Structures are given as C-alpha cells and as structure tokens.
Amino acid sequence: MNEWNTRNQKVIDEFRATGGKVSWFGSLLLLHTKGAKSGQERINPVVYMQDGERWLVVASKGGAPTNPDWFYNIQANPLVTVEVGAETLKAQAHVLEEPERTQVYEKIATAMPSFAEYRSKTNRVIPVVALTRAK
C-alpha cells in the first residue's frame, strides 16, 4: 500500500469508528466509486459542503494539474455509494456545468479557503460534483 493509500485508510478507519467525524477535517464523506478501467470499488475520503438535499464535492486534488482518479470514475459510472455521518446510501453524481460550477466553487472557496489556494495552483478548471440521493 502506498503512502497516499495508507493515509486514506487511516482517515476511512477514523471516519467509521467515530460515526463520520474525523478530528482534523471539517465535513467529510466517503465516496465509493467503481474504477473506470478496473471496475473495482474505490473509496475516497472527500470534503463536502451540504446544499439542500445534495452534497457538493470538489475534484481539486490539492491544485494538481490533473483531476483525481475518483472524478474519472464517476464520469464513467455516476451511480456511487456515499457514507455520510453514520448513513450509507446510493447517490447519483452529476458534474456541474457553468455558470453553476463557478458560483458553487466561489461559495465553497469562501467557506473553505484552501480551495481558493488549490485554484491558484493550477491552470485547469477544477470540477465540482453534486451528489444526490438515488431514487
């Protein structure tokens, strides 16, 4: 297991042990995706912002020049599983289009300034994804 996977596993373990509260994160959910190439389940801890009945997540990858792998997974397979708090549910992932993407990103960056920093580190447009409970 590489360093990144080891770190994520520690976050996942703490999340599950505490009913969704991770000491050094704000609002965090666990996003289960199906690998776009492998078809294998992947689980990623992702910071989110609640927006009514949807959860908004940002594919920032810390301002890296490429999107995180989970973003490509949801593009290929938008039906995902989400662990939020103590609840596990099926959700539909939807990549926000302009102008909503920019409006939502600004709102998130205001609430969580690290996202403004990530944006300044990259030339790519950082995607925002809405997760809504699957019906």
How does pLDDT run across 54-96, given as a tens digit for each residue? 999 999 999 999 999 999 999 999 999 999 988 999 999 999 9
Quote the number of domains for the chain.
1
Q: Taking 60 as the threshold, does the pLDDT of residue 120 lie above it?
A: yes
Report CA-CA distances (Å) from 49 to 11, 109, 112, 126: 18, 10, 9, 16
The pLDDT, as a whole number, for residue 85 is: 86
Give SS3 for 5.
helix
The pLDDT, as a whole number, for residue 103 is: 97
Q: How far does Cα 84 stand from its chain's mean position? A: 11
CATH code for position 68: 2.30.110.10
Give the confidence band of 105 by pLDDT, cuts at 50, 70, 90.
very high
Mean of the pLDDT values across residues 124-130? 97
- Which tens digits make up the pLDDT trace of 1-48? 567 677 778 878 777 777 777 766 668 899 999 999 999 999 999 999
Are the CB atoms for 115 and 109 separated by under 8 Å?
yes
The pLDDT, as a whole number, for residue 23 is: 67
Q: What residues make up the domain containing 19? A: 3-133
pTM over 0.85: yes
Average pLDDT, the chain: 90
Give me 96's structure tokens. 């926000």
The pLDDT, as a whole number, for residue 11 is: 77
Mean of the pLDDT values across residues 93-118? 95
